[in-house]
Structure 1
Amino acid sequence: MDHKLICDILNSEMVVATGCTEPAAIALTAATARTHLEGKVSKVKVSASVNMIKNAMSAGIPGTEYMGMDYAAALGATGGDVSRGLQVVDHASKEAIEEAAALVHSGNVEMSKSENPEKLYIDVTLESETGHTARAIIASAHTNVIYEEKDGEVISQHDVGTLVEGVPAEKIIETLSIETIYNFVNELDREKDDLHMIENAIAINSKISEVGLEGTYGLNIGKNIARAREKGYIGDDLVTRAMEATSAGADARMAGANVPVVTNSGSGNQGITATVSVLSAAKTLGADEDKTFRAVTLSNLIGIHIHARFGLLSALCGATVAGTGAACGIVYLLGGGVEEMKYAVNNMMGDVTGMMCDGAKADCALKISTCINAACHCAFMAMDHVYVKNTDGIVETDAEKTIINFTELGNKGSQVMDNLILDIMLNKEGRY
């Protein structure tokens, strides 16, 4: 087993971000273009894929009172720091925020839907007061810059689909399986293996969960679960505590709390889901620190394994993927092995498949609480060797084939669903 490759996969697919990753990627694209622009920004033009528009419309911009891709692009252009990656605007000055808002309010930020078929695609062109232009494109991954241009002259260029840095999806698919992940988790040596992003995820994602429980963010799903628990409406148990802690982190993140998170497969919510739920379950179960670390590693790797086929963006909610990782992590904490984890995967795919992604917004935390409830239930069933059979729906006897069926559904069904969802979102009565 190639431990270094698996660590490289983890450290490639788990990165630190502040706020929702789609607005952050839009801001990063604009900030990248800004590095090539002479003069003060006077106009911002953004063309983005349906998935990017859908996921950036209602997400809060960290450190500001604003939300949406127009503000994200404008702030990236006026105050973004490219060196900080998906934390590109979390240190933006008050002046940069005001300048960005002025660009939006004056109608100098233009948004359009790209015809490029790539699900993750952002094309930003900037114009300056002195007539200069600059352009940048990010595609296929949230920090993957494939094109840079200054005053019409190409600076760098790669084909859409090229991964400039990181481990390609094809390599991840070739490397990971449920069994390989289980064996790696049992074999890993924390003194020798580079698992710093798991360490970061445990520390950083725990913090945003605490922030969500302490403050007032979005729909306050985590705090509502806590209040229901305190009033005796629901039990004070492993399931409730895991739902509470995990959804609280998503509450804070989607409201634009200026607090970082470690992502999984391009999603902060999925990083929170795969990590915090397992940490909470481990605390309830009294698991030691080493067992907890291995369970969190397993949960995140299962999410990455599924996402390698699923893609970064889809019409299906990614919390179902991270929730499946969480179910396997909880199985591990309960003493289960590969067989029980495969049962848990089939149970999750038989349960929450079909939950749609209608953009990144406050009620993502509600969907996450649902997926964590399901993850716990599916894990408990798996430990009793109760599982969805291949007679039912998309589930196969082999959990790996079930995963393929799930990802096929997401990939082939997304184009029609995404456009329909976005059309509904853009034409809702009273949206603003």
Structure 2
Amino acid sequence: MGKNKILTILQKELVIALGCTEPVAIALAAATAKSYVTGQIEEIKVKASGNIIKNAKSVGIPGMTAKGLDFAAALGAVSGDPNQQLEVLNGLTIEDERMAIKLIEEGKVTAGQADTPKRLYIEVIVRTDKQCSRAIISDNHTNITLIEVDGIAVYRGGCENIGIQTDEEELEALTINEIYEWVLQADLTDLGLVKKSIELNRMIGMEGLYGNYGLNVGKTIKENVKKGILSDDLATSAMSLAAAGSDARMAGSILPVMANTGSGNQGIAVTLPVVAAAEKLKVSEERMIRAVALSHLITIHIKSKFGRLSALCGVTAAGMGASGAIVYLLDGGLQQIKAAIQNTIGNVSGMICDGAKAGCAMKVSTCSNVAVQSALLALNNQEIQSTDGFIHDDVEKSIESFCKLGNEGTRQTDELILKLMLEK
């Protein structure tokens, strides 16, 4: 694969995002619908797929105290700027929150499940005292496929079933071998977006370590290192920084992050375990940047087959990328990187997704720990064998099996998880 193609993949799949991507996507749909009508808002209706509901129901929204699909839609309609895409909620104020809550209290906002086979689907209808509009996002968090005003389509666009921003032909040619070779020879000037991901995501990680967010998973790990209960080693460093970033993001920190394949939490889990390991090992900045690029690309490669939303936790794929990158930081070669990915697949492949929430930081911590363990085993030439589970001799086939599990084997699980969540 050519240099420019892999660079294009990075540029498409690394996107700055403010707030958890699912409520942000709802706000984007609402802001888009509202931008096409004038007058006072009389009604907002939200319909979303089960996976969107899971991830938007309980997660924090940057700078706000309220949560939920109805609040995200009201906030987007009242004050969101659709031109800012995944930063649609940037710069909102307490007054914006007050106006959104007022709409909800007046009974003007409703939210429910859409009757759709799509895993990523959002439909928002905004009716004012003058007009009515409808906006639909599907398959990708910014993929607007329809805008209607008073029942007349004024925009049809987007791509059906894209699931990921990059063209399928480009992704089909991507392999672990080519990713590794590209990362070794890439000009640092081509990795500016990767460097930016380190800067942004490290900042929210530090915010989580020193602030008070969610379950304080990362902060608690760090405090127990200081007490001598946990050791100050590579694994705890990776766990604490990555989990702290997730703590802050899931609790509504106003800091933006660099998302990976549409997920900010995944962007954190791809970068911060690797950054923490690089800092612990005192490697050069160049080596850190190359390692994080490797982690991003491995995860993009896996997620291109896995899909954006699933009954399985996407952070598991990020752990696979991080494990390969940590091998690289510890001077391992291509075969050991593949072994680390295999080990991670064999360890965390069954972790379910029960929605975006504070507890996601615990899953980030777990996958960061597994990334380090898998890397160390691989460096000791220990790899899960093809006689075990669904692991193959070829890492690419193991990735395919993992993605089939996420896509084909968990649909009933996904429905049951949502049912259990909504029964509470």
TM-score range, shorter chain: over 0.9
CA distance in 1 between counterparts of 2:170 and 2:134 reads 31
Q: Is the 8 A contact 2:71 2:100 kept in 1?
A: yes
Equivalent AA in structure 1 for residue 381 of structure 2: H
Residue 28 of structure 1: how far off its partner (Å): 0.5
Q: Which residue of 2 is the match for residue 389 of structure 1?
A: 385
Q: Does 1:154 align with 2:150?
A: no
Q: Which residue of 2 is the match for residue 115 of structure 1?
A: 115
Q: Is the 8 A contact 1:263 1:270 kept in 2?
A: yes
Q: Is the 8 A contact 1:29 1:137 kept in 2?
A: yes
| Secondary structure of the corresponding residue to residue 339 of structure 1 | helix
| Secondary structure of the corresponding residue to residue 263 of structure 1 | strand
Q: Which residue of 2 is the match for residue 87 of structure 1?
A: 87
| Secondary structure of the corresponding residue to residue 409 of structure 2 | helix
Q: Which residue of 2 is the match for residue 360 of structure 1?
A: 356
Residue 392 of structure 1: how far off its partner (Å): 0.6
Equivalent AA in structure 2 for residue 360 of structure 1: A
CA distance in 2 between counterparts of 1:205 and 1:174 reads 29
Equivalent AA in structure 1 for residue 144 of structure 2: V
Q: Pairwise mapping of residues 58-207 of structure 1 onto structure 2 (< 5 A)?
A: 58-130=58-130, 132-158=131-157, 161=160, 163=162, 166-168=165-167, 170-191=168-189, 193=190, 195-207=191-203
2:344 pairs with 348, 357, 375, which one?
A: 348
TM-score normalised by length of structure 1: 0.96
Q: Does 1:236 align with 2:235?
A: no
CA distance in 2 between counterparts of 1:164 and 1:53 reads 17
Q: Summarize deviations over 1:37-77 as a string: whole Å, max 9, x none.
A: 12122211111111000010011111110111111011000
Q: Is the 8 A contact 2:385 2:392 kept in 1?
A: yes
CA distance in 2 between counterparts of 1:143 and 1:205 reads 21
Q: Which stretch of structure 1 is more off in the superposition, 404-413 or 90-99?
A: 90-99
Q: Which residue of 2 is the match for residue 42 of structure 1?
A: 42
Residue 160 of structure 1: how far off its partner (Å): 6.0
Q: Is the 8 A contact 1:79 1:97 kept in 2?
A: no
Equivalent AA in structure 1 for residue 156 of structure 2: Q
CA distance in 2 between counterparts of 1:209 and 1:166 reads 26
Unpaired runs of at least 5, structure 1: none
Q: Summarize deviations over 1:341-384 as a string: whole Å, max 9, x none.
A: 11011101111110000000001000110111111000000011
Q: Pairwise mapping of residues 405-420 of structure 1 onto structure 2 (< 5 A)?
A: 405-420=401-416
| Secondary structure of the corresponding residue to residue 410 of structure 2 | helix
CA RMSD of aligned residues (A): 1.4
CA distance in 1 between counterparts of 2:410 and 2:146 reads 26
Residue 197 of structure 1: how far off its partner (Å): 2.0
Q: Is the 8 A contact 2:57 2:355 kept in 1?
A: yes
| Secondary structure of the corresponding residue to residue 336 of structure 1 | coil
Tell me the percent identity: 46
Residue 162 of structure 1: how far off its partner (Å): 5.6
TM-score normalised by length of structure 2: 0.97
1:211 pairs with 197, 207, 216, which one?
A: 207
| Secondary structure of the corresponding residue to residue 196 of structure 2 | helix
Q: Which residue of 1 is the match for residue 260 of structure 2?
A: 264
Residue 261 of structure 1: how far off its partner (Å): 0.5
CA distance in 1 between counterparts of 2:42 and 2:13 reads 35
Aligned length: 424
CA distance in 1 between counterparts of 2:159 and 2:5 reads 25
Residue 173 of structure 1: how far off its partner (Å): 2.9
Residue 212 of structure 1: how far off its partner (Å): 0.5
Q: Summarize deviations over 1:65-109 as a string: whole Å, max 9, x none.
A: 011111101100001011211111121233322111111122211
